[in-house]
């Protein structure tokens, strides 16, 4: 039997969201042929922040997170933690999380369905309480995104898992303190989320867990470092084998999140397509190796200036081929932005998307702007054109929205971008940062020129 949840007995404090824009109702106007110049401050990594917020559920004491980006996804994750009875308080880029009392083991569908990463709480909640009930996150614009690897790993650690009417019910049976057991887990695919879920679950398990074919993304390492700072025993994060020796209890922590490599990559591509010299910091150049290598193939240079700063030196753009892969391969989260860049690069390029099965929906929108792209299965064949033209377009997912902004910066005339709720999920004040570089980009509340989703064929 799954124990009943206790009611939440204390008041909830949601993170401050006042300065987040209203993405659903507004549109972006971008005037192209921009020339950018100057420096961009890169925010904390979205994917680290989300995983680490989930990881804070492991800790029965206060956690202070620093460098937390101001994003809709972070706000939603905060709401999910609040719904479990956790107290959160946001102060600028700092976020305090007090999970000393978790009053609920069940996460609400309305919130989980909006944010896939919130499913990752299943690992820490199960480890802390011996029971977790989290709705299946459901489909998503970029593919089916199942959670079978998460579930199978938890079962190997001794959890009973039943999926009933869209709810994943996981619990640890037996008397006394209900602890998961260490296990040897081979992941059929190096899933970022499954690695994170299972690593978090294993920190409080009885005995040693070995995750083989683990994801090696920097955000996995960041989560491991956060857990270690709380007293967890984890070795090998950042390699394909992670070993976790379970401990009885974790303790309070003050932890700073790494810079966002996808935000940094997005600005580098914006600089490249507009032939602009820009610098970025803080960044961890090692995390950008695949992106910098591809930029070099395209004809621009990225030079490091000290340990956490890079500068983009523009050049004339030429075609290249890209295949998305798990880290350290080329990131799927940079695929759409590079497609925008390759539309204006001389020659034919091929982009092969191997991580998600439906992540080429931005092709139709880039084509509206004059791009020459054909799709065959998971390949996009891009023939460089001499110019793009501003047009009304609709963002189809988070990184697609960034690709449209990038294309719009280089296009002739004005582009109107709708669907900004995608952009606001994962970019911290993107248009403000671009304006500071000299871009002519403005958000307006409503726009009759913008097409509806149906008109745009999205």
Residues with active-site annotation: 140
Rank residues 119 and 443 by Cβ distance to ligand UD1 and give the closer one: 119
Q: Which residue stretch of 121-129, 184-192, 202-210, 415-423 sits at the interface with ligand UD1 (rule: CB under 6 A)? A: 184-192
d(CA 244, CA 187): 15
Q: How far is the CB of 146 from ligand UD1 (least distance, A)?
A: 4
Residue with tokens 């932890």: 255
- List residues bridging with 149 in a β-sheet: none
Out of 191, 274, 320, 337, the only residue in the binding site for ligand UD1 (CB under 6 A) is 191
3-state secondary structure of 344: coil
Binding mask 120-159 for ligand UD1 (x = CB under 6 A): -----------------------xxxxxxxx---------
Q: Tell me the site size for ligand UD1, rule CB under 6 A.
A: 23
Q: How far is the CB of 120 from ligand UD1 (least distance, A)?
A: 7
Cα–Cα distances in angstroms (integers) from residue 178 to residues 125, 165, 329, in the given order: 12, 25, 39
Rank residues 21 and 328 by Cβ distance to ligand UD1 and give the closer one: 328
Cα–Cα distances in angstroms (integers) from residue 402 to residues 31, 119, 227, 381, in the given order: 15, 25, 31, 20
Q: How many CB atoms lie within 10 A of CB 327?
A: 20
Out of 33, 66, 189, 452, the only residue in the binding site for ligand UD1 (CB under 6 A) is 189
Rank residues 27 and 215 by Cβ distance to ligand UD1 and give the closer one: 215
Residue nearest to ligand UD1 (CB): 193
**Is residue 147 within 8 Å of residue 119, measured between CB atoms?**
yes
How far does CA 275 lie from the centroid of its chain?
Answer: 27
Rank residues 279 and 358 by Cβ distance to ligand UD1 and give the closer one: 358
Q: How far is the CB of 399 from ligand UD1 (least distance, A)?
A: 8
Q: How far is the CB of 71 from ligand UD1 (least distance, A)?
A: 11
Task: Measure the CA dihedral 217/219/221/222, to 10°.
Answer: 170
Q: How far is the CB of 36 from ligand UD1 (least distance, A)?
A: 25
Binding mask 23-62 for ligand UD1 (x = CB under 6 A): ------------------------x--x------------
The region, left, alpha or beta by phi > 0 then psi within -120 to 50, assigned to residue 53 is alpha
C-alpha dihedral sign at 234, 172, 49, 119: positive
Out of 117, 157, 170, 283, the only residue in the binding site for ligand UD1 (CB under 6 A) is 117
For the sheet with 94-98, list strands across it: 87-91, 94-98, 62-66, 253-256
Rank residues 149 and 391 by Cβ distance to ligand UD1 and give the closer one: 149
Cα–Cα distances in angstroms (integers) from residue 284 to residues 50, 57, 223, 314, in the given order: 19, 27, 16, 21
Out of 64, 76, 90, 116, the only residue in the binding site for ligand UD1 (CB under 6 A) is 116
How far does CA 453 lie from the centroid of its chain?
Answer: 24
Q: How far is the CB of 144 from ligand UD1 (least distance, A)?
A: 6
Site for ligand UD1, residues 319 to 358, rule: CB under 6 A: 332-333, 355-356
Rank residues 50 and 364 by Cβ distance to ligand UD1 and give the closer one: 50
3-state helix, strand, coil in the chain (%, to 5): 35, 25, 40
Site for ligand UD1, residues 205 to 224, rule: CB under 6 A: 215, 219
Cis preceding-peptide flag for 417 (omega within 30 of 0):
no
Please give the residue ranges that form the binding site for ligand UD1 (CB under 6 A).
47, 50, 116-117, 143-150, 189, 191-194, 215, 219, 332-333, 355-356
């Amino acid at each position: 039997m799954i124990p009943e949840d206790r009611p939440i007995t204390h008041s909830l404090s949601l993170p401050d969201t006042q300065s987040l824009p209203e993405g659903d109702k507004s549109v972006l106007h971008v005037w192209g042929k921009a020339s950018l110049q100057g420096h961009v401050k890169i925010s904390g990594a979205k994917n680290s922040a989300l995983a680490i917020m989930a990881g804070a559920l492991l800790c029965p004491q206060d956690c202070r997170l620093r460098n937390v980006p101001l994003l809709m996804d972070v706000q939603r994750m905060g709401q999910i933690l609040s719904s479990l009875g956790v107290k959160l308080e946001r102060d600028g880029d700092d976020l305090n999380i007090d999970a000393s009392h978790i009053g609920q083991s069940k996460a609400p569908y309305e919130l989980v369905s909006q944010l896939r990463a919130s499913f990752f709480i299943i690992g820490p909640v199960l480890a802390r309480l011996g029971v977790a009930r989290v709705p299946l996150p459901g489909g998503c614009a970029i593919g089916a995104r199942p959670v079978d690897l998460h579930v199978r790993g938890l079962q190997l650690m001794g959890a009973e898992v039943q999926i009933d009417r869209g709810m994943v019910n996981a619990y640890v049976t037996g008397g006394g303190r209900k602890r998961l057991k260490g296990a040897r887990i081979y992941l059929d695919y190096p899933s970022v989320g499954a690695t994170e879920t299972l690593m978090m679950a294993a920190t409080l398990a009885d005995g040693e867990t070995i995750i083989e074919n683990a994801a090696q993304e920097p955000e996995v390492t960041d989560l491991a470092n956060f857990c270690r700072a709380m007293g967890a025993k984890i070795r090998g994060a950042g390699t394909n084998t992670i070993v976790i020796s379970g401990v009885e209890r974790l303790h309070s922590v003050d932890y700073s999140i790494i810079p966002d490599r996808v935000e940094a990559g997005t600005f580098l591509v914006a600089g490249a397509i507009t032939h602009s010299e820009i610098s970025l910091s803080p960044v961890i150049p090692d995390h950008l190796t695949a992106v910098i290598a591809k930029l070099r193939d395209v004809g621009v240079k990225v030079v490091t200036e000290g340990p956490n700063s890079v500068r983009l030196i523009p050049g004339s753009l030429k075609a290249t081929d890209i295949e998305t892969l798990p880290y350290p391969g080329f990131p799927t989260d940079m695929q759409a932005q590079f497609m925008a860049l390759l539309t204006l690069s001389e020659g034919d390029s091929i982009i092969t998307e191997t991580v998600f099965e439906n992540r080429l929906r931005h092709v139709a929108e880039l084509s509206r702007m004059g791009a020459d792209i054909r799709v065959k299965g998971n390949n996009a064949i891009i023939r460089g054109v001499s110019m793009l033209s501003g047009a009304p377009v609709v963002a189809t997912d988070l990184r697609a929205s960034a690709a449209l902004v990038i294309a719009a910066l280089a296009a002739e005339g004005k582009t109107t971008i709708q669907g900004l709720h995608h952009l606001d999920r994962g970019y911290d004040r993107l248009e403000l940062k671009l304006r500071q570089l000299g871009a002519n980009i403005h958000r307006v509340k409503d726009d009759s020129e913008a097409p509806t989703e149906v008109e745009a064929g999205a």
